[in-house]
Structure 1
Amino acid sequence: MIDDDEDVLLAAKLLLKKHAHQVIIEKNPKKIPFLLNNDTYDVILLDMNFSKDITSGKEGYFWLSQILEHDPDAVVILITAFGDVEMAVKALKEGATDFVLKPWQNEKLLATVSTAIKLKHSYKEVDKLKKAKEQLEADLNQPFKDIIGTSSSIKEVFNLIEKVAKTDANVLILGENGTGKELVARAIHQRSLRKDQSFIGVDMGAITQTLFESELFGHKKGSFTDAKDDRAGRFELANNGTLFLDEIGNLSMPLQSKLLTVLQNREVTRIGSNTSIPIDIRLVCATNMNVHDMVNDGTFRQDLLYRINTVEIKLPPLRDRLEDIPLLASHFLTSYTKKYRKDIMKISPDAITSLQKYQWPGNIRELQHAIERAVIMSDNQTLEVNDFLFLKGGQSSNDDVITDNLNLDDVERNVIKRAINIHDGNISKAAKELGLTRASLYRRLEKHGL
C-alpha cells in the first residue's frame, strides 16, 4: 500500500495484517520501482494524490502506468477521496482493478481486497495454463523431443515413425544396443490412436524360460508353487494399448512358438485356467540381432518374423550420425547439470571434436554415460577433452574394438572387454549391452580368460 498519509497506512496495516500473509506499506511513491523489482504482490493499493499534487490525480495516473508497465497483470486498487470518483473511473479505464473511497468502511475495504486477490489468483492460473499451452505447442512442433538429431539418417527414422504410427501395423525396430529402440517404440505409441491406453514394455532377454508364460500370459492362484494370487500377464495389461517386446531375438524356439500362437489367435490363457481372454494390442518389437540371418540359420521362426515386422525401422548407430553428437551432448549436459546441481555451462569445441572422432561402440547410451560421468567429476564450468577419460591423449579409445585384426575371437574378446569397462564391471548390464544372457557372457569371459 502506497499513501503519503502515515496514519492511513498504519490503520490499513492493522486491519489487513489479520487477513494477509504480509502487508507492505510505503509513504514515498518513488520507491515503487524498487519494491516491484524486489518482490511480487497479489494486490497493490495506490493513493491517487500525494503531497506534491493534492487534487489532480496526475501522480496516481503516473504511478499506475509505471506499475502496469512493469507488470501488466498487476492488480491495483486506487485509494481516492469522494471528490475524486470521476478520476478513479478514468483510472479504471487505464488499467486499475477497483477503487476504495476515503474514509473507507472496513468491511468494504476487506471485500474489495478479497475480490482483488481472487482476481490475481485467476491471472496466475491463466498464466500457468498459457505457459502449459505454449510448452505443449512447442512439444508438438518438435514431435520427437526425446529422439534428438538432425542428420539425414535420423530424419528418415522420424519419417517412418510418422507414417506407421497412426496405423495398427506391427513394427520391428532393428538396431545396435544403445541406439534408442525403446524411445522409438514409445514415440510410435504416443502418436498412435492408442496413445491414451497403456504402453507395456517387456525385456524378453531378462525373462527366464520357466517364467515366460506367467509374465506374458498371466496365471491363476495356485497354478504353481509361487502363484499366491491371480495375476494378469503383460498381454492383458497392454490390452487396447501397445505391447513392446524388447530383445525378441533372445527367445528360444519353443518360446517363439508360444508367442506366435498368441499373436495368431489374438487371445491368451492364464496358466491354470481353461478360459481364453481376447486381446487387442498394437505390437512393437525390437532386437539388436540380425533376425533375417537367424531365420536362415534356423534359430528364428520365419512365420513369427512375418507376424512382427509388417514395417521395419532400422536405427543408425551413432558412428553413422556423428553430426548429431553436439545436439545429443548438449541435451545430456543440460539434464545432468540440473540433476547434480552443477554450474557447467558448455562443452568445449575441442571436446566436441574429439567426441565426434570417437566411434561409440555403445552408441547413444555410451555417450550419455560419458557426459554424466564428466559432469559428476568436473569442477569447471566447461567440459574439456580431459574430462572424458577415454579421449585423453587424442586416442580414439575404440581402438581396442575397431582394429585391423579381423580374427573373430580377438574381436569378440575386445568387444566384451569394452562392454565390461563401459558398465564398470556390472555383468548384468554388460550382458544386456551385448545382447547376451548372463550365463552366455560368463562362458565367454571364461573362454577369453577375462
Structure 2
Amino acid sequence: MTKKQGTILVIDDDEGVLHTARMILKKHFSEVSTFTSPHNLPVFLKNNQADVIILDMNFSRGVTSGHEGLEWLRKIKKIDPNLHVLVNTAYGDIDIAVEAMKAGAVDFLTKPWEKEKLLSTVLSIFELSKSKKELNQLRNKTKLLNQDLHRQFNDIIGQSKAMQDIFNAIEKIAETEANVLILGENGTGKELVARAIHQRSNRKKDSFIKVDLGAITESLFSSELFGHSKGAFTDARESRAGRFEIASGGSLFLDEIGNISANMQAKLLTVLQQREIVRVGSNKPIPIDIRLICATNRDIYKMVAQNTFRQDLLYRVNTVEINLPSLRERKEDIPLIANHYLEIYRVKYQKGPLQISQNTLDKLINYHWPGNIRELQHAIERAVIMSNGHKLLPSDFLLKNTGPQSSKNLPETLNIELLEKNAIETAIALAEGNLTKASEELGIGRTTLYRKMRRYGISV
C-alpha cells in the first residue's frame, strides 16, 4: 500500500493515545509526529508543514473544561488560518465540540475512539486539506497569469524604430489564427512577444501553455506533448493529458523548436497536419484546437539547407515570422531598459534613490551584450546590490569580454570614416612620419594618402 505524502500531527497528554494513533496512522501517511504538550506547537509549525492536526482539549491534570484546547486551537488558527484541526473531546461533551467548530476546527472525535473512525476521519480531512491547497495554488497561478496577460507591453521595453515595428506586427498578427515563428538571439524577449500575441488574441480568456522543447528528452517528448494513458509505461500510474490537450482552446508556445530531433519533428508535423493527438498507450484520437507560437535562437533556414530541420515543418509553423533585434541593434533603447530594471531592483533590495551616471550609460551603450536584455537585467541587479552611493558607476559593472564577438576585439566605433581616420593616424605613427611607408602599410597610393589626410585634417 502506497503511503500518502503528508504530515499528521497528534497532540495529547496520554502516551497510550499517542502510541495508538502512531500505530494506526503510520501505515497510511509518510509522517506522523506526536507531542504530549501543545507548547511545542509554535516552533514545530514554524519549521514544518502539517496537513492535519489532532488536538486534545485538556492537558493539565484534573482539568476537563476543554478551555485549554480551545485556547490552543485559536493559537493554531492564528499561526495559520488554513491549518485543518481535528479535536478530541470526552464522550458526550457536545458543548465543547460545538465551541471548537466555531473556533475553526474541521471536525471532532469523541474518546475513546475506534480505529476505523479515526482513520476514516483523518483521511477525509487530509483529502480536504490537499484539495484546498491545490485550489489555492490554482487561484494564485490564475491570478498571476491574468496579471501577466493584461499588461500593455510593459515588459517589452523599447522606443526604437526596430521595436515599434515589432509592436505593430504583434497588433496585426494577434487577432488572426496564423501560426507564428519568433526568431531571435537568447535573451531578446521571445517569450514576452509570444505572451503579448496571446494577450491580444481572441483566445486570451483561455490558457497560454509554454513548452521548453530544449529541456525535453526524446524519450519523454510524446508523453509530455501528447499525454499518456494509465499503464502506458512503467511510471504511468494514471492517465495524463499532454500540453497540446491542455492548451486546446488557447495558445501553445513551443520554445526552442530548433533543438528537436528529426524523429520529434516528424511527430510534431503529423499532429499539426491532422489537428489531433493520440496519447501514448492509446489508439483514440483527440481533436485539438490551438494557436501555435514557436520560437528559436538558431538559424532555422540554415538548418533547413543542411537538412537538419524539415522544410515542411517550417512551412507549418511560420505562417507569420517575427525577427527580434538584438540589443546591440537597438542601442538607443539601452538607457530606457537599464532605468526600468534599476527601479525594480532598487525597490526589491530596499535601496534609496539611485541613478545611473552618464559615464555608466555610455559604457552600457558601447558594450555588445551577447546575452541581450537578460544579460543587461542581471548586470543592473548586481550593480544595485553592490552599489554604495546614490549613483551606479562604471566600476559597479563587471562586463566581461565573453562570447564570439568579444574575441574579435571589437573597436569602439564601427563608423567607416572614423575607422579609416584611425587607421591612417596609426600607420603614420608606426612609420614615424614617413608617408611612403605609411601608404605602403595602408595598401594605398601616396597621392590617395595625401587626399585622405586633407579630408580628415591629419597633419604630420
TM-score by length of 1: 0.56
Q: Secondary structure at the match of 1:229?
A: coil
2:156 aligned with 1:147: yes
Alignment of 1:362-441 (within 5 A): 362-390=371-399, 397=401, 401-404=405-408
- 1:376 alignment partner AA: I
2:307 aligned with 1:298: yes
Of 309, 323, 329, which residue of structure 2 is paired with 1:314? Answer: 323
Contact 1:344 1:375 in 2 (8 A): no
How far does residue 398 in structure 1 lie from its aligned partner after superposition? 5.3
Alignment of 1:255-274 (within 5 A): 255-274=264-283
- 1:401 alignment partner AA: Q
2:187 corresponds in structure 1 to 178
Of 228, 240, 244, which residue of structure 2 is paired with 1:219? Answer: 228
| Structure 1 Cα separation of the partners of residues 168 and 217 of structure 2 | 36
Of 344, 352, 369, which residue of structure 2 is paired with 1:343? Answer: 352
Change (3 A) 1:359 1:225: same
2:245 aligned with 1:230: no
- 1:287 alignment partner AA: T
Contact 1:165 1:189 in 2 (8 A): yes
1:359 corresponds in structure 2 to 368
Deviations 1:391-425 (CA, angstroms, capped at 9, x unpaired): 8xxxxx3587334489xxxxxxxxxxxxxxxxxxx
Q: Secondary structure at the match of 1:360?
A: coil
Unmatched segments (≥5 aa) in structure 1? 1-135, 392-396, 407-450
Q: Secondary structure at the match of 1:299?
A: coil
2:213 aligned with 1:209: no
- 1:222 alignment partner AA: G
Contact 1:179 1:317 in 2 (8 A): yes
Q: Secondary structure at the match of 1:337?
A: helix
Change (3 A) 1:382 1:193: same
How far does residue 337 in structure 1 lie from its aligned partner after superposition? 1.4
Deviations 1:115-134 (CA, angstroms, capped at 9, x unpaired): xxxxxxxxxxxxxxxxxxxx
2:298 corresponds in structure 1 to 289
2:327 aligned with 1:323: no
Deviations 1:188-233 (CA, angstroms, capped at 9, x unpaired): 0000000010000000000000000010000111110111111110
- 2:164 alignment partner AA: K
Q: Secondary structure at the match of 2:155?
A: coil
| Structure 1 Cα separation of the partners of residues 221 and 403 of structure 2 | 39
| Structure 2 Cα separation of the partners of residues 228 and 179 of structure 1 | 40
Q: Secondary structure at the match of 1:401?
A: helix
Contact 1:344 1:380 in 2 (8 A): no
Q: Secondary structure at the match of 1:197?
A: coil
How far does residue 390 in structure 1 lie from its aligned partner after superposition? 2.1
Contact 2:179 2:293 in 1 (8 A): yes
| Structure 2 Cα separation of the partners of residues 236 and 399 of structure 1 | 40
2:288 aligned with 1:279: yes
Change (3 A) 1:352 1:181: same
Deviations 1:9-46 (CA, angstroms, capped at 9, x unpaired): xxxxxxxxxxxxxxxxxxxxxxxxxxxxxxxxxxxxxx
Q: How many equivalent pairs are there?
A: 263
Change (3 A) 1:199 1:399: closer
1:250 corresponds in structure 2 to 259
Contact 2:250 2:290 in 1 (8 A): yes
How far does residue 276 in structure 1 lie from its aligned partner after superposition? 0.9
How far does residue 356 in structure 1 lie from its aligned partner after superposition? 0.1
| Structure 2 Cα separation of the partners of residues 264 and 399 of structure 1 | 39
Deviations 1:360-382 (CA, angstroms, capped at 9, x unpaired): 01100000010011111112221
- 1:161 alignment partner AA: I
- 1:288 alignment partner AA: N
Contact 1:359 1:398 in 2 (8 A): no
Task: Quote the RMSD (CA, aligned, Å).
Answer: 2.0
| Structure 1 Cα separation of the partners of residues 245 and 319 of structure 2 | 22
| Structure 1 Cα separation of the partners of residues 281 and 347 of structure 2 | 49
How far does residue 349 in structure 1 lie from its aligned partner after superposition? 1.1
| Structure 1 Cα separation of the partners of residues 387 and 371 of structure 2 | 22
1:198 corresponds in structure 2 to 207
Contact 1:253 1:300 in 2 (8 A): yes
Contact 2:223 2:280 in 1 (8 A): yes
| Structure 2 Cα separation of the partners of residues 369 and 353 of structure 1 | 18
| Structure 1 Cα separation of the partners of residues 301 and 153 of structure 2 | 29
Deviations 1:95-147 (CA, angstroms, capped at 9, x unpaired): xxxxxxxxxxxxxxxxxxxxxxxxxxxxxxxxxxxxxxxxx9xx98x831110
> 4+ runs of 1 displaced by more than 6 Å?
none
Contact 1:344 1:383 in 2 (8 A): no
Contact 2:370 2:403 in 1 (8 A): no
1:48 corresponds in structure 2 to none
Alignment of 1:3-152 (within 5 A): 143-152=152-161
| Structure 2 Cα separation of the partners of residues 398 and 206 of structure 1 | 25
What is the identity percentage for the equivalent residue pairs of Structure 1 and Structure 2?
63
